[in-house]
Amino acid sequence: MAEIVLRNLTKRWGSFTGVERTNLTIADQEFLVLLGPSGCGKTTTMRMIAGLEEASEGDILIGGRRVNGLDPKDRDIAMVFQSYALYPNMNVYENIRFPLKVRRVPAAEHHERVMRAARMVELTEFLERRPGELSGGQRQRVALARAIVRQPNVFLMDEPLSNLDAKLRVSTRAQIKNLSHELKVTTIYVTHDQVEAMTLADRVVIMKRGVIQQVGSPVEIYDRPANTFVAGFIGNPAMNLMTGELRGGVFSGENVRIAGINGPDGAVVLGFRAEDASVVPAGGDIVAPTYTMELLGDATMVAVRAGGALVTVKAQKDYRIEIGAPVEISVPAGICHLFDAAEGNRIETAG
């Protein structure tokens, strides 16, 4: 069992706090993603779990054992980094095999374990090549195979796809997802890419300035963001967020008036997803000049200025409009989210 428990985990450098009193339990065999912008503390959290950074305060438990004082090699973890860290003088077979030699695994087991790992990442035809003869995606698969061959209790993956181009990221992401299902090993994955988080994770942990903002499944975080930071970080495009006043169930702001909103009177931030609104011929809740139009193939994204923000809506793929031309957007009250204007926290409503 490789349940991981973080208790009041904190990392400080002088007066700067990189991670602040993090409490989190990662279930055995769970695929957990730490997500957030650069400098939010996600990589520092992973490095403390790995033993590459010493915690200033708090406890790290892996499989019920406190590991704070253990060296990285004694924590039974395997890491996959942004940089592939392959040995250029070794071929693919020897790169994958290397962890077995270091850990003194009986030589009789090496070939079977190397071949199994190579098959899992589709590298069997490249075993005699050296890293310099491989593409970026192939080198990342070698790094994955080298982690798999160890058969660890925990995988730690730190931005493993960030050096790949867009097409390779998609295919390698699918491979990691399939491997996670097949291997059933507790995995912590660090990324700043919310698409990776949403597609890979059992649960997502969103961090900001060393503090956890929300923990939940991708669906929970997408459908019920805890605050405006999460709402503005998750989704492609991110949730539209408009500032305005709510009075008697009517939200009003720059170029916007939406009736039927259930919430307390006063200053609020109203949010909605681009795919939940629609362009209409007349009677829209948002009426404004078109700021821009983007053709995406399967849809057309239309943006306007409303509620002090740039607001986007997803229209039909054949929809066309000139920049500057007036557009009307319908925003159903039932799909709107409300947030406190001062702190940005979600306002829960009865209906």
Give per-residue pLDDT as tens, 212-267: 999 999 999 999 999 999 999 998 889 999 999 999 999 999 999 999 999 999 99
Q: Write the CATH number of the domain with boundaries 4-228.
A: 3.40.50.300
Mean pLDDT within 195-211: 95
H-helix segments, 184-306: 194-200, 218-223, 228-233
Residue 182 has pLDDT above 90, yes or no: no
* DSSP SS3 for 144: helix
Q: In terms of Cα–Cα distance, which of 32, 3, 25 is closest to 200?
A: 32
Q: In terms of Cα–Cα distance, which of 88, 32, 30, 84 is closest to 212?
A: 32
* Averaged pLDDT of the chain: 92
Question: pTM of the predicted model, to two decimals?
Answer: 0.88
Determine the distance from the C-alpha atom of residue 152 to the mean position of all C-alpha atoms in its chain, rounded to a whole number.
23
The yes or no reply on domain 239-340 and CATH 2.40.50.140 is yes
Question: At CA 77, angle to CA 171 and CA 216, rounded to 5?
Answer: 60
Please provide residue 184's backbone torsions phi and psi, each rounded to the nearest 5 degrees.
Answer: 55, 50
Q: Are 2 and 186 in contact (CB under 8 A)?
A: yes
Looking only at the bridges linking them, the beta strands covering 77-80 and 154-158 are: parallel
Terminal CA-to-CA distance of the chain, rounded, Å?
42
Q: Are 121 and 145 in contact (CB under 8 A)?
A: yes
DSSP structural state of residue 338? E
Query: What token pair was written down for 351?
Result: 């209906």
Cα–Cα distance between 12 and 92 in angstroms, integer? 39
Mean pLDDT within 276-292: 96
The pLDDT value given to residue 1? 64
Domain locations along the chain = 4-228, 239-340
